[in-house]
């Protein structure tokens, strides 16, 4: 790939890698070292499932260029950020529109979807108590009842002030 093309795409690639590393709370090298053992055994590797999901989500007319069974070895070839950037720079120039498209899909569609899904998931999962005093805030239902009572009293002309309690 030409140097100016690489510089242009490197910005997108760095963003994508940095977001993934930030989400995992580790460096690129630590992340590869953490996930690579899970791809060693072809029978239990998540590569085939991930590959099918990506092919289903983003179908292409071209035949597969990566076999899921080789994912462990591929991760070994890009186990440092320098090796990863070197492999990226060696990609063919004619593939740059497709590479840019994939990076943009990842940054503009996949990551926002993951963020939305994670935020929805955090709303339904139980909170972990870290200790300390329990919250004195009433439940959501109690808050609604208190607000309704305040609205009703205000409409009736009752002077407002002090603490409101449910009857």
The pLDDT of residue 166 is 58
Residue 156 in any domain: the answer is: no
| Residue 8 predicted with pLDDT over 60 | yes
Residue 59 in any domain: the answer is: yes
pLDDT tens string 37-52: 888 887 788 887 877 7
Torsion, Cα 158 161 165 167, to 10 degrees, reads -20
Residue 27 in any domain: the answer is: yes
Boundaries of domain holding 74: 3-124
| Residue 167 predicted with pLDDT over 60 | no
Residue 56 in any domain: the answer is: yes
Dig out the tokens for 162 from the structure. 């002090």
The whole-number average pLDDT for the span 108-125 is 89
| Residue 165 predicted with pLDDT over 80 | no
The whole-number average pLDDT for the span 64-92 is 85
The pLDDT of residue 42 is 78
The pLDDT of residue 108 is 93
Residue 76 in any domain: the answer is: yes
Tell me the CA end-to-end span of the chain in Å, nearest whole number: 73
pTM (two decimals): 0.60
Residue 24 in any domain: the answer is: yes
- Number of structural domains (the chain) is 1
Residue 143 in any domain: the answer is: no
Residue 131 in any domain: the answer is: no
């Amino acid at each position: 790939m030409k140097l100016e093309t690489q510089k242009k795409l490197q910005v997108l690639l760095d963003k994508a890698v940095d977001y993934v590393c930030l989400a995992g709370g580790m460096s690129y090298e630590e992340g590869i070292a953490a996930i690579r053992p899970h791809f060693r055994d072809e029978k239990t590797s998540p590569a085939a499932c991930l590959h099918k999901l990506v092919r289903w989500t983003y179908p292409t007319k071209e035949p597969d260029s990566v076999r899921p069974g080789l994912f462990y070895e591929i991760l070994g070839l890009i186990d440092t950020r320098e090796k990863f950037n070197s492999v990226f720079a060696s990609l063919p120039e004619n593939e740059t529109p497709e590479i840019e498209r994939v990076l943009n899909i990842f940054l503009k569609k996949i990551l926002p979807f993951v963020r939305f899904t994670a935020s929805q998931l955090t709303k339904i999962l139980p909170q972990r108590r870290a200790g300390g005093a329990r919250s004195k805030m009433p439940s959501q239902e109690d808050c609604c009842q208190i607000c309704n009572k305040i609205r009703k009293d205000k409409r009736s002309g009752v002077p407002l002030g002090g603490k409101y309690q449910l009857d």
